[in-house]
Structure 1
Amino acid sequence: MKHSIALPQGYRLHDVLAFHSRDAESVAEQISPERLRKGVVMDGVPLVIDIALGGADTGLAEYAVQAGVALPPALAEQARNAVLNVLGLRIDPQPFLDFAANDSLLGELSRRQPGLRIVQSATVFEALTWAIIGQQINLPFAISLRRTFILQAGVEHSSGLWCYPDAAGASRLQVGDLTSRKFSRAKAETLLRFAALVASGELDLVPGPGNSIDDIGKALLAVKGIGPWTVNYGLLRGYGYPDCSLHGDVAIRAALQALLGEDSKPDMARTEEILKRYAPHRTMAAAHLWASLHPRAAD
């Protein structure tokens, strides 16, 4: 069964395709100008979300879920949420544009990129494991480790696409499964510690009464090996939380250096103070700073 998703005016499809095609050898995504196919395990069910993007110019995307089983309503809703995530439809960019319109630092930059959005991972678990994998290493190496993690912990769908693992699948790995494939011991231990906590229910990633995003952030910080950058990046990519402070991000600091015209990057403390000006829209401020490092001629 096909379902439709309305796309906003000025939707920047190229941003979405670029984010999900960063791994040239991707095993869990298949990307073309007209289609995005994403494999992911949800509630133990390996499924592929197939999004047709041919109607993006007319403000419409269609998706179908290939699971091999009838989806219960709760799982169907999770799949729809994943579609909203991967298409970057969680945060409306306009409030930040209004907020920063006359800002001396980001005003002109934001006006050049009015439709810029935050593209997310399909699930919160994917976002947080990706944040752990990417700690303190360069992007190409992080992408290769992510691919390894998918092949070690994920499930191959009947279509041949691999499905990004859920917590239960990842928690079955041993540290040696990862360290034998270029993961550092510390990174492997943190990743599997996190997966085990989620799989057991000890770490609840579902927001709700008595479990706010702030509560989830504090619980994540209590996990050995997870620090503020990982939490903020995970909240950004996983929940589309609008006020994440990425002051520990090297690329954010590099973007600020260029905008400020200074000879060195601002340190983390100064970066945090600069980003505070944009609360409660710090996530979109980060998006514009990241994009400033890779401008498009058409933007």
Structure 2
Amino acid sequence: MPRTISLPPGYRLGDVLAFHRRDAESTAEVVGPASLRKGVMLDGVPVVLAADFSPSAAACTAQVDGAVSAALERRIDEAFRSILGLRIDPDPFCAFAATDPLFGALVRRQPGLRIVQSATVFEALTWAIIGQQINLPFAIALRRTFIVLAGRQHSSGLWCYPEAADAARLAPEDLTGRKFSRAKAETLLRFAGLVASGELDLEPGPANAIEQIGQRLLAIKGIGPWTVNYGLLRGYGHADCSLHGDVAIRAALQRLLGEDGKPDIRRTEQILQQYQPHRTMAAAHLWASLALPDDSA
């Protein structure tokens, strides 16, 4: 099932590969200098999404352990767009912020910056739950555990990130025995159970807007605004997610403002509101700014 996906001018391949390289043990992702292989469950089928990059295109192949339906073809196409960071066009925000006193210079220093998505909405939201209030290395270790406990191995040997039905089969003790807190394990499985049963529909449509999905997520015990916004950002590529509760966003704003302390959550939210409907790209530039030299942020 080969396909060629054209890449926009100035495509920042290094950013995309760095996002998928976070797990040093390559449990569900294998990243090369100009290649990516990612395992994910799609419609109950183990799939490895493989992309080999040239300067202007990605040669993409889906290695499927099972029958390929038209619905699965669509899911594969959507997953490729997500993992390659092609859901949000960065140009509207760059034009919007070109003369902005806070973001203008920063945007010019980071041309072509994009937000990379998870392969599925379920992956994005479970990763957001796993990452709540813990450091990144520990979150990655817990994610690895979750994949091995709930996911399935592709015939190639690569693990595939699970779907809701896979995760819903777990008991909290399966996770708490592997360093998950009781609260995190229960939230994760509560969410998976609601999706698997069909009570929570994650598929957006005319009668199920992304904003409505966000409100339903907020009603789930253990899921708060940060988790919802981060999940919508990484899952749907929603263009206007406010990450005002994110510690790294607040640290980046502190540097950008040249202040001695981080702005509090309320003030951070007020600052980001000025960049509606482009708050997702504002967050992307703030996150990336933390990697710039101190005198360049």
Whole-angstrom distance in 2 between the partners of 1:229 and 1:13: 27
Once the two structures are TM-superposed, the CA of residue 68 in structure 1 deviates from its matched residue by: 2.7
Q: Distance in 1 between matches of 2:233 and 2:271?
A: 18
- 1:258 is displaced (CA, Å) by 0.6
Cα offset for 1:43?
A: 1.1
Spell out the pairing of 1:1-299 with structure 2 (5 A cutoff).
1-53=1-53, 55=54, 57=55, 59-295=56-292
Deviation track 1:12-58 (CA, whole Å, cap 9, x = no partner) reads 000000000011112000000121000000111111111111x2x1x
Residues 82, 118 of structure 2: 8 Å contact kept: yes
Provide the secondary structure at the position in 2 that maps to 1:75: helix
Report % sequence identity. 70
Hey, what's the Cα distance between the residues in 1 that align with 2:258 and 2:5?
42
* 8 A contact 2:79–2:120 mirrored in 1: yes
Contact conserved, 2:154 with 2:160, CA < 8 A, in 1? yes
Q: Which moved more, 1:253-262 or 1:61-70?
A: 61-70
Q: Secondary structure at the match of 2:233?
A: helix
Compute the displacement of 1:107 (Å). Answer: 0.6
Write the letter of the residue equivalent to 1:118: I
2:62, 2:197 → 1: CA distance?
27
Are 1:26 and 1:147, in contact at CA under 8 Å, matched by a contact in 2?
A: no
Contact 1:96 1:281 in 2 (8 A): yes
Normalised by the length of structure 2, the TM-score is 0.98
How many matched pairs? Answer: 295
**Which sections of structure 1, spanning at least 5 residues, go unmatched?**
none
- Structure 2: where are the runs of 5+ without partners? none
Q: CA deviation digits over 1:47-98, x for unaligned, max 9?
A: 1111111x2x1x1111111113231011011011111000000000000000
Runs of 4+ in 1 over 2 A off after TM superposition: none
Q: Is the CA contact 2:65–2:154 (under 8 Å) kept in the aligned structure 1?
A: no
Q: Is contact 2:152–2:159 with CA below 8 Å preserved after alignment?
A: yes
- How far off its partner does 1:270 sit? 0.1
Aligned CA-pair RMSD: 1.3
Secondary structure of 1:135's partner?
A: coil
AA aligned to 1:223 is: I
Distance 1:35 1:245 in 2: 32
TM-score (norm 1): 0.97
2: distance between equivalents of 1:36 and 1:291?
A: 21
**Aligned AA for 1:111?**
R
